A and B are shown apart, each in its own frame.
Chain A
Amino acid sequence: MKSVLYIIRKIVSLILTLLLVSVIAFFVYEIIPGDSVTSMLGTEYTEERAEALREELGYNKPIYERYLIWLENFVTGDMGESVNYKMPVADIIADKLPVTLWLGLISMLQIIIISIPLGVWFAWREHKGKGIFIEYFNQFVMSIPSFFLGIIIIYIFGNILKLFTPGQYVDYKENIVGFILYLIPATITVAISKISMVAKFTRNSMVEQLQADYVRTARSKGASELRIFLHHILRNGLTPVITFLGMVVAEVMAGSIIVEQVFNIPGLGRTLVVAVGNRDLPIVQAIIVYMAALVIIVNFFVDIVYKFIDPRITIGMGRE
């Protein structure tokens, strides 16, 4: 019963968060200057044409009314038509979404596979009282901007080692293997700084456990250091990492926007950047909501999983 309530609460908060995101995505373009109409007409702008176009696009209605219409359509799956491309936004997104999903998925896999063992290893070194120079290295890696790192990676892997041809993107509909191979250098770019982050987090979380009372108890019972490490510290130390990984998903999505630009990958992030420049609001709003939804839903599942791993978690259930 308790866990059913918990899930319902989580779902409600998920929906509210999405609504909030959609409101922000919708209203923010009311505040910043420049609109779809001016950028569509460009240098052919005249007052009459602009007026006619606003009428046609329904931009002369008050903002809240437009928001409600948009929301209603959105919920029923109609995301409107792109101002710029005169195509249904749903079609555009359907085409681009797999690209960004794959990019995110491969990045996440790398992060999980590499950073957790790495973090555990750092903690083990710490446990054995060895140096922490790795800390500095980590700090260094985290502070490289990803567009810069991307160019370095293209240069090293593409132009020097010739492991891939920069700019020769392979479409996933034509050749899925070639597509994934082209994505890998890009995913490494996204993953590297996140790997440092997660490894650091994992290490810290485990080192915290080292000081815990139960470790002392275990030690006094005569358990070997390795046994203590594997059976006690590892298990307790890794639980918070799962939540942290949920947050990393958001970072990966944000990272993919930049990396798609650098590696010339036609995914959602690139479409978003172009659409922002064109003030193609139907696309911008849909992509923002989509990306936010993705992050929120992943975190929703992380919370649920977490709850089952560690039944002590009773977020938002008051005092019980």
Chain B
Amino acid sequence: MKKKILLLTLALTIALCGCTGGGNKGSSSSTDKKSIVVGIQQDLDSLDPHLVVAAGTREVLFNVFEGLVKPDENGVLVPAVASEYKVSEDGKKYTFTLREGVEFHNGKPVTAQDVKYSIERNAGMHDQELLISRFANIDSVNIVNDSTIEVILKEADTELIAYMTVAIIPEDYKEQSSKPIGTGPFIFDSYEIDNKFVVKRNDKYWGGKPELEEVVFKIVANTDSVLLDLQAGSIDIYPYLTDDQAKELSDKFNIEVGNTNLVQGIFLNNENDYFKNEKVRKAMCYAIDKEEIQAMVSGGNGTLIGSFMFPGLGNYFNEEVIDDYEYNPEKAKELLKEAGYANGFEFKMTIPNNYQFHISTGEVIVQQLKKVGITVNIELVDWSVWLNDVYTGRKFEATIIGFDSTLAPNDLMRRFVSDNDKNMCNFVNAKYDDYYKMAVETTDENEKIEYYEELQKILSEDAASVFIQDPPLLVAVSKELEGYTFYPVYVQDMSKIKFVD
């Protein structure tokens, strides 16, 4: 009896293992076609490009949709569906000339009517409410002729061009949210919730067809087991490695290092009892050793910043403020003493629990602030709770987060304008507000740069928050592939990926 049962168990185990062995055979099928698998961390929040909110969705849809203009790898807006554009001197009229021969994925040519519709839809003139708040400024969109479109603004805005990356979609097409159609280098093929988003090559792409025939964006649920998936070869590109993961994968993958284009910092609620005191905020800045943070959480990669902007925004980025607060715990203690906190104080730092990078940063900060007598209690919350309490409710003391941006620099800078509804930190400075207004209104590029640099200086001088770094983006790219390109905005461009010969 005993033997029989033992044998039975054994036989079953072998049968089960034998079965699994068979599954391996099918795995090579993807190599005969030029197809790759890209791991992404979040599910897509919408397939309709105008309704997308999550940055994690935009980075994928970049391959399917294009605007009148699109960013290149240097952060310059280059013509896409439009072949050229002009901004009038008063900054109130944008004129676009449509590129000839651009077709939608359904084979129909892009018409001026489609462009008008796409812009107007985002301005809240069709089936949706206002989708891009900047577009509230649009007075009208006029078709001048079959290939020319004019956008007339109510008030001057010379940075609106950065929003003209908004996807051009066919008018009167009702299935955008299930079978999206755009003009990009890849065509939507299929989508399965929480599983994958598949695109196929657009052979008729105006910019030349990409080399890859198919790209599968696979949503990976677990950042621990993704390492095993990568090692086993079921994922070819994965863009969000931690420093430790990158080290482990370096023998099988090329690790590309770029920037995430985020402003990571400890954001302080300037209305809080402690942080409304500028001396306390400055003490915080002196007490934080940014280089140690980089060494501990990002393997020494990433770019240090000194104000609320990241280097990807090119000329607008003010390099001079980076070293305004050299690590100096003694000075921090002195400032705290002057502020009346000789024995330090205690505060709560709220961090969303889905961002391990910010959590790790927070853990380093706890240790650093302890040295000057400040006690930090980390509170981890769900993302939606963070949005609710911290971001919109402004009920917080301090938080660690990273802000992203479009290529329009005011996208970031407005977040510190006194009466702006996105001024999460409750920062108030009349001088800042004035400069901001001037920066947005001027049409002179040099003046604009000057004003934006001044704005960054003010934020640094006032220690509006503790600005840490633009964190590194570590990307695992299979050794069979090349051409992975970093952008100053959050995108994964698959049209440039090629197989190594």
Contact = CB atoms under 8 A, between A and B. Distances in A.
B19 A167 contact: no
A176 interface: no
B2 interface: yes
A226 B20 contact: no
Interface stretch (A36-44, A242-250, A289-297): A36-44
Contacts of B422: 43
B114 to A, nearest CB: 22
A110 B234 CA distance: 27
B389 A188 contact: no
Contact of B193 (A95, A178, A263): A95
Contacts of B20: 157, 163-164, 181, 184-185
Given A52-B129, A166-B228, A262-B222, A184 B19 contact: yes
Interface in A34-55: 34-35, 38-47, 49-50, 52
B24 interface: yes
A165 B233 contact: yes
A121 to B, nearest CB: 5
**Count class of interface residues, chain A:** 35 or more
A166 B192 contact: no
A42 B53 CA distance: 7
A42 B234 contact: no
B220 A277 contact: no
Contacts of B46: 85-86
A266 B387 contact: no
A150 B226 CA distance: 12
B382 interface: yes
A182 interface: yes
B45 to A, nearest CB: 6
A112 to B, nearest CB: 11
A220 interface: no
A85 B45 CA distance: 6
Interface stretch (A9-17, A138-146, A208-216, A267-275): A267-275
A279 interface: yes
Interface residues of B, number: 58
A82 to B, nearest CB: 8
Nearest to B178: A87
A163 B21 contact: yes
B192 A95 contact: yes
B235 A167 contact: yes
Contacts of B1: 121, 124, 226
Nearest to B354: A277
Contact of A266 (B45, B192, B229): B192
Nearest to B13: A114
A278 interface: yes
A299 to B, nearest CB: 26
Nearest to B25: A178
Residue among A43, A86, A150, A178 having the largest count of chain B Cβ atoms under 10 Å: A43
Nearest to A91: B193
B26 A178 contact: yes
Interface string A63-93: 0000000000000000000001111000010
15 contacts: A33-B389, A39-B384, A85-B46, A117-B9, A150-B225, A151-B228, A165-B23, A166-B225, A166-B229, A167-B229, A168-B27, A169-B195, A262-B221, A266-B193, A274-B43
Interface of A: 33-35, 38-47, 49-50, 52, 84-87, 92, 95-96, 110, 113-114, 117-118, 120-121, 124-125, 147, 150-151, 154-155, 157-159, 162-171, 175, 177-178, 180-182, 184-185, 188, 226, 260-264, 266, 270-271, 273-274, 277-279
Given A168-B232, A168-B234, 8 more contacts: A46-B133, A87-B193, A162-B24, A163-B23, A166-B229, A180-B19, A182-B23, A274-B194
Closest 3 CB pairs of A and B: A167-B229, A34-B384, A181-B23
